[in-house]
Amino acid sequence: MKYKRILLKLSGESLMGDKAFGIDNNRLSLYAQQIKKIHENGVEIAIVIGGGNIFRGVQAEEGGMDRSHGDYMGMLATMINSMALQAALESAGVETRLQSAIEMKAICEPFIKRKALRHLEKGRVVIFGAGTGNPFFTTDSAASLRAIELNADVILKGTRVDGIYSADPEKDPNATKYDVISFDDVYKKDLSIMDMTAFTLCKENNLPIIVFDMDTPGNLQKVLNGEQVGTIVRN
Ligand code: GTP
């Protein structure tokens, strides 16, 4: 395996599958199966999942709600997805631990870095819920932060697109996909991969990001095998 310890960032919206809202069980088990495969190869796996299939902080602001209030609701949405993913992984036979950035004693452990590391060493998949625990940060920022804290080798950003393009491939027929791109070029070309806070954290800590299509079964395994899948961003 090319990477020993990874942070997998999953999109909440992708969990909807073909549904308009909530969680598609087929998609959920598809993700669990893919994760199980790489887990069997001995990769240490930490996961951060978004909450956009349930609630988005920005959406609250549009409705006149205070932004931070909305962001906390979004953090709870990530907990629902995290619990669903935890259950799916465990029913696939993968041992997991869920840690929340906001204490929810009845549901899971609080985020404790040393405990998370221990879980990884013992071969447990660790899921981090509730983002960073702070409003005004995205789950991409949570993923970057946790990846850096845990010394992960890479962030694997699973999306619905198969990489980073020079332009929006749905609008521009001349858009081309990058196999490799530097952090600086992403800035210069104004390509959007993650929000700037998350992106800068990765750049400054020399943490590569691979953007790939998680919805195609087998892709996650290919990324771990070091095959050319998606786009890698690095210094
Ligand atoms: P080791 O000490 O490395 O064996 O890890 P462990 O996770 O098995 O130990 P621990 O005894 O801390 O946890 C046992 C179970 O309780 C695990 O499923 C944890 O996720 C869960 N657990 C631990 N702390 C909390 C907590 O504060 N709240 C909740 N709800 N569950 C917890």
Does position 169 have pLDDT exceeding 90, yes or no?
no
Residue 67 lies in a domain: yes
Quick one: pLDDT at residue 58?
77
- Residue 62 CA to ligand 1 centre (angstroms): 39
Q: Does any ligand 1 atom lie closer than 6 A to the CB of residue 45?
A: no
Give mean pLDDT, residues 77-88: 98
- Residue 208 CA to ligand 1 centre (angstroms): 31
Q: Does any ligand 1 atom lie closer than 6 A to the CB of residue 103?
A: no
Give mean pLDDT, residues 191-216: 95
Residue to probe by mutation, ligand 1, list 98, 100, 107, 109, most atoms within 8 Å of CB = 109
- Residue 109 CA to ligand 1 centre (angstroms): 6
CATH number for 61:
3.40.1160.10
Cα(58)–Cα(49) distance, integer angstroms: 17
Residue to probe by mutation, ligand 1, list 108, 117, 127, most atoms within 8 Å of CB = 108
**Residues paired with residue 156 on neighbouring β-strands, in sequence order:** 8, 210
What letter represents residue 176's amino acid? T
Residue 234 lies in a domain: no
Q: How does pLDDT run across 106-153, given as a tens digit for each residue?
A: 999 999 999 999 999 999 999 999 999 999 999 999 999 999 999 999
Q: How does pLDDT run across 42-71, given as a tens digit for each residue?
A: 999 999 999 999 998 777 888 889 999 999
Strands (DSSP E) contained in the chain are 5-10, 44-49, 96-100, 109-110, 125-129, 154-159, 164-165, 177-178, 180-182, 209-213, 231-234
Residue 235 lies in a domain: no
Q: Could you tell me the pTM of the whole model? A: 0.95
CA-based nearest residue to 21, from 47, 59, 48 = 59
Residue 9 lies in a domain: yes
**Atom 4 in ligand 1: which residue has the minimum CA distance?**
119
Q: Does any ligand 1 atom lie closer than 6 A to the CB of residue 108?
A: yes
Q: Provide the domain limits for residue 207.
A: 5-229
As a whole number of Å, the CA-based R_g of the chain is: 17
Atom of ligand 1 nearest to the CA of 118: 3
Q: What is the mean pLDDT of the chain?
A: 95
Instruction: Report how many domains make up the chain.
Output: 1
Quick one: pLDDT at residue 168?
84
Residue 47 lies in a domain: yes
Residue 37 lies in a domain: yes
Residues counted in the chain: 235
Atom of ligand 1 nearest to the CA of 110: 27
The encoded tokens of residue 1 equal 């395996």
Q: Does any ligand 1 atom lie closer than 6 A to the CB of residue 112?
A: no
